[in-house]
A and B are shown apart, each in its own frame.
Chain A
Amino acid sequence: MALLEAANICMQFGGLRAVDNFNLEINEHELVGLIGPNGAGKTTVFNMLTGVYIPTEGDIKIDGQSVVGKKPYEIVQAGAARTFQNIRLFKDLTVLDNIKIAFHHELNYSTLEGIFRLPRYWADEKRAQEACLAFLAIFDMEDYAYTMAKNLPYGKQRKLEIARALATKPKILMLDEPAAGMNPQETHELMETIQLIRDKFDIAILLIEHDMHLVMGVCERIVVLDYGRIIAKGTPDETRNNPDVIRVYLGE
């Protein structure tokens, strides 16, 4: 059974059918790219998968469990974490606190235990501190632990956002144009980060991207969207040579 299953989902905005009969299956440990020209409906698909929009038709299952109509935080609990096209960090908090917030669900002490500083508070906070620092170390960011998130360079901010999404222990990670606004060197670093995630975490990734170099470089399977419809599916080589894809991207 696929980890993420989108069956015939449609999104209708008034008279506009932004996404039409979109089907997608992502298996465990797979890296799928979703590409398409501007306005093709990529972000709409993404927003449906993450609970921001409720699809007008169709069903979405994460790990066999239907998530249609669930709130974004419930979808996170179901096992799908995301990043945003325009980076959304908790800017005025430290890098460590950014991770700790995503680690929220791993801590068990209640509000009252926290307020009265009962033993479980100390035990849990200590565990969180250690786990989050170790987590940052995986991404080679432990030196930045006490830096304000807003003071990080752009590439590192993106890395932190991805790390924060991973701290929620997802089964599938969805990246919305992670290379947007990056220079070639930062893009390269991003590719390394994605590779690192593939090596260290046992999760599937869905990647929306404009940067062809990145998509062709890391994805195993690519889905091409145009005007809300899937026009091609396949390996990077297949899609690269698909006449429809060439027509959409380069014109006739």
Chain B
Amino acid sequence: MDKKVIKNYIINIAAIFAVYAVLKGLIYAGVITRYHQGIIVFILINVILATSLNLAVGFLGQLTLGHAGFMAVGAYVSAITAVALNANFNLPKIVVLLISLTLAAIVSALTGVAIGIPALRLRGDYLAIITLGFGEVIRVIINNIKVTGGAQGFTGIPKLSTLDNVFWITVLAVAFLYTLTHSRQGRAILSIREDEIAAEAVGVKTTSFKVMGFAIAAGLAGIGGGLYAHYIAFLDPNTFNFMRSVEILIIVVLGGMGSLTGSIVAAIVLTIMPEALRSFNELRLLLYALILVVMMIFKPSGLFGTEEFSWQGIYDRYKTRKNALHNREKKV
């Protein structure tokens, strides 16, 4: 292991703990109210949803429009599991949450595989349309079966998500995606985005990597859905409609397709913005559109493009700049 790599790991872990400590401190000091905490939880859930969608859209290069469907599967599986566990066993809250989320992730990932195998034969617009269709199919099924409470919604879900556990689960999910995309499997996934035919011609099993990427994205969306269910404690199938998928996609596009840190920043901005603009109710959708138009004109690759934010990167840039200035001074 390289020393620089170890240093980077330590810096990143320290930064995460620092963010957590600041959050905790602000809550303790009363600066962050319960209302703010709610927004932070939604930001974190959106981070999970956006980064997982980024795996499918940004890293694998497969435009999908049914992410809310996988989120719905996760939300309902997790809710049903938790209710069943609470009725039959007397387990601590965190154990119930973890079991529910694990099951949610597995079922969502399997749904992802089931949808991915036929859908991923298509490309581009066709794939977008078919995933949109599948997403809606999932919603309609949930609307029409008994276990989910149908159109009346699912009530009585134990409120298991707290700011603390959502925060750490988000950290783990993003770390998982980061390490996955920076491994040999991640490179294979990237090669499919770059050129599927060339990837196959250098020996990458494109079909299995496509299904794998799609399934992991779906599984993580399931975890996001589960956390959502256990936070809001009530599920209405219509919240998982096409617009929800688009909302997640907008976060990914704004942050940069292929940048996890970009998705995190965009999730923060795009979750806070509607809340902050609540008083201008109608104008906020207009502003949404305006931001995207401006973005597409000036930086079509998104805030971060395919780059990741890193302290080392900033330091390196600062250093090269300083050196450049230094050299110029020398010449003068």
Contacts and interface: CB of A to CB of B under 8 A. Distances in A.
A81 B202 contact: yes
Interface string B226-254: 00000000000000000000000000000
A109 B179 contact: no
B235 to A, nearest CB: 30
Interface stretch (A113-121, A193-201, A207-215): A113-121
A50 interface: yes
B179 A116 contact: yes
Given A97-B187, A109-B184, A114-B180, A77 B203 contact: yes
B206 interface: yes
A33 interface: no
Contact of B201 (A82, A114, A128): A82
Given A90-B190, A90-B194, A116-B179, A76 B201 contact: yes
A208 B106 CA distance: 49
B203 A104 contact: yes
A124 B185 CA distance: 13
Contacts of A109: 183-184
B181 to A, nearest CB: 10
Interface in A189-235: none
Contacts of A168: 202-203
Contact of B191 (A90, A115, A125): A90
A181 B186 CA distance: 33
Given A88-B197, A92-B194, A168-B203, A107 B184 contact: yes
Nearest to B206: A73
Best-buried of A91, A92, A101 by chain B (most CB within 10 Å): A101
Contacts of B186: 114
B201 A71 contact: no
Interface in B153-185: 176, 179-180, 183-185
A179 interface: no
A90 B306 CA distance: 14
B184 A165 contact: no
A154 interface: no
A122 B194 contact: no
B286 interface: no
Interface in B184-238: 184-188, 190-191, 194-195, 197-206, 212
B184 A102 contact: no
Contacts of A100: 184, 187
B1 interface: yes
A36 interface: no
A241 interface: no
A91 B258 CA distance: 14
Interface in A116-141: 116-117, 121-122, 124-125, 128
Interface string A95-109: 001001110110101
Contacts of A93: 187, 190-191, 194
A150 to B, nearest CB: 10
A2 to B, nearest CB: 23
A116 B1 CA distance: 14
A101 B188 contact: yes
A62 to B, nearest CB: 14
Contact of A111 (B1, B185, B191, B204): B185
A73 B306 CA distance: 27
Interface in B71-126: none
Given A72-B200, A81-B202, A101-B204, A89 B184 contact: no
Contacts of A111: 180, 183, 185, 212
Contacts of B188: 101, 104
17 contacts: A72-B201, A73-B201, A81-B201, A84-B198, A84-B201, A88-B197, A88-B198, A89-B194, A89-B195, A90-B194, A90-B199, A97-B190, A102-B202, A109-B184, A121-B183, A125-B184, A128-B184
Interface of A: 50, 71-73, 76-77, 81-82, 84, 88-93, 97, 100-102, 104-105, 107, 109, 111, 114-117, 121-122, 124-125, 128, 164-165, 167-168
> 10 shortest A-B CB distances, which residue pairs?
A114-B183, A90-B194, A76-B203, A88-B198, A102-B202, A72-B200, A101-B191, A115-B179, A107-B184, A73-B203
